Amino acid sequence: MHYLQTFERQKPFHYDGCVQCGTTIYYGNSKNDPITVAASEYSKLIKKFSGHCIPLAATRNLNRPRESLGGWLEEKGFETAIASYVGPILVHEGKAFWCGHKHNGSRGIHICIAGR
């Protein structure tokens, strides 16, 4: 079990597993169902964004960039807000690093996905 916090609001969450084997993410109160992210989804995400800094875009706001972690996860059928958890997991496991609140003129939290 790994215990982390979201980047923006510092909300605690925990997960089982790893990026290579898939994760089960537990968040909020115990009434929330855990979210499962398969290893294959992490692999696709890393392949698509490898070497790029992208907005986290964890908000449910309709103005989020499509080329963001939240936008990509939503396209794959996940709730956009899970970017709040997937981003810190990627950083914790060395697959990405946090690169600040502004990048190339774009505001909001950004993460850089490590190259393959």
Give me the domain span that covers residue 95: 2-113
pLDDT tens-digit series, residues 43-70:
999 999 998 888 888 766 666 666 888 8
Number of structural domains found in the chain = 1
Kindly write down the DSSP assignment for every residue of 80-92, as one continuous string. Answer: GGGHHHHHHHHHH
In angstroms, the CA 15 to CA 20 distance is 13
Confidence of residue 37 (pLDDT cuts 50, 70, 90): very high
pLDDT at 17: 96
Assess whether pLDDT exceeds 60 at residue 107: no
This model's pTM is above 0.85: yes
pLDDT of residue 53: 87
Q: What is the pLDDT of residue 29?
A: 72
**Mean pLDDT of the residues in the chain:** 83
Dihedral sign from CA coordinates of 81, 7, 85, 43:
positive
